[in-house]
Structure 1
Amino acid sequence: MVETREVRVPPRLVIRTFWSVHRAVVRCSGGRLGLWRPRNGRWGAMRLTTHGRRTGRARGVILAYVEDGPNLVTLAMNGWGAPEPAWWLNLRARPEATVDVAGGRRPVRARAAEGAERERLWELYRTVDASLDAYAALRPAETAVVVLEPR
């Protein structure tokens, strides 16, 4: 059993403000700033663009990720709040998306990891975030591990 430590999540306003500023930096710099690859036991940052499940309009969000071979892996969390993030709901309705990472843009197809694969990828993500289990315990439902496969 993995020991879970007590964690404190910043207020929702702080989280939303940080990510809004981060998105603006990425947008204004054309992706030259604000995106990085995972390395040295740290996660990377990517910009995921989905299409709204109701509107069909492009929606962008900055997400942390780790690499698993050619796949990018992220977690469907909403600031560790209870509801599913909108980008994950969009991907479940329309799995095709694009990601901008340091080095370029990639078309991807999303799916949720299940079973042994989910456990393996959760362990992989835990190597870059020692508090992962404590944060996940704040959510009432299991956090989806999202695999973004090249298409």
Structure 2
Amino acid sequence: MPSDRALKTMNMVHRGLLRISGGKLGNTFSGMPSLELTTIGRKSGRPHSVMLTAPLVEGDTIVVVASRGGDPVHPAWYLNLREHPEVEVSFRSGPRKPMTARVASAEERADLWPKVTGKYKVYAGYQERTTREIPLVLLSPRK
């Protein structure tokens, strides 16, 4: 499982690549579009940003996976958005947009998970590594 330091380093490198290339490099990762998700810390109350991939985009809803590489614990960004679902998203280096995050219901996950794992098998491997059910998060424009 990746350490917190490794995850932070990967995020820093990804952001740097986007910045240095003017958004030309790093907008996709492993064939998936990338995004920057900004949440409000559940303990600190401060904004925190993380680079993620979006295996599915359905209409104006972006689906992200709270896998943390198959770790037995949820990623911090997931815990933050459960507490504070008002987030900001910069999709493919675009402008930051206010969005609302919500965890997919059991029915939604049953529909979406096979689509995610059918297209990106790595997520099926992550699920096999952990006993927790890896959540799917739906990001939709704020109304």
Name the TM tier (shorter chain): 0.7 to 0.9
Q: Give the superposed CA RMSD.
A: 2.4
Cα distance in 1 between the residues matched to 2:109 and 2:116: 10
Cα distance in 2 between the residues matched to 1:87 and 1:42: 22
Is the aligned partner of 1:104 residue 2:108? no
Q: Secondary structure at the match of 1:124?
A: helix
Identity %: 36
The aligned runs of 1:11-30 (5 Å cut-off) are 12=3, 15-27=7-19
AA paired with 2:42?
A: R
Cα distance in 2 between the residues matched to 1:14 and 1:93: 25
Q: Secondary structure at the match of 1:132?
A: helix
AA paired with 1:147?
A: L
The aligned runs of 1:125-144 (5 Å cut-off) are 125-144=116-135
Match in the other structure for 1:75: 65
Aligned residues: 139
Q: CA-to-partner distance for each residue in 1:12-60, whole Å, 9 max, x for gaps? A: 4655533331133335556554224x9xx93211000111111111100
Q: CA-to-partner distance for each residue in 1:111-145, whole Å, 9 max, x for gaps? A: 11112211111122123312322221111210001
Cα distance in 2 between the residues matched to 1:35 and 1:46: 7
TM-score w.r.t. the length of structure 1 is 0.79
Contact 2:69–2:126 (8 Å) recurs in 1: no
Q: Secondary structure at the match of 1:127?
A: helix
Contact 1:23–1:61 (8 Å) recurs in 2: no
The aligned runs of 1:81-120 (5 Å cut-off) are 81-102=71-92, 103-120=94-111
AA paired with 1:76?
A: A
Cα distance in 1 between the residues matched to 2:68 and 2:26: 20
Gaps of 5+ in 1: 1-8
AA paired with 1:117?
A: E
Cα distance in 2 between the residues matched to 1:15 and 1:86: 11
Larger helix proportion, structure 1 or 2? 2
The aligned runs of 1:47-86 (5 Å cut-off) are 47-65=36-54, 66-86=56-76
Contact 1:46–1:62 (8 Å) recurs in 2: yes
TM-score w.r.t. the length of structure 2 is 0.83
AA paired with 1:143?
A: I
Which consecutive segments of 4 or more residues in structure 1 shift more than 3 A? 11-17, 26-33
Match in the other structure for 2:26: 34
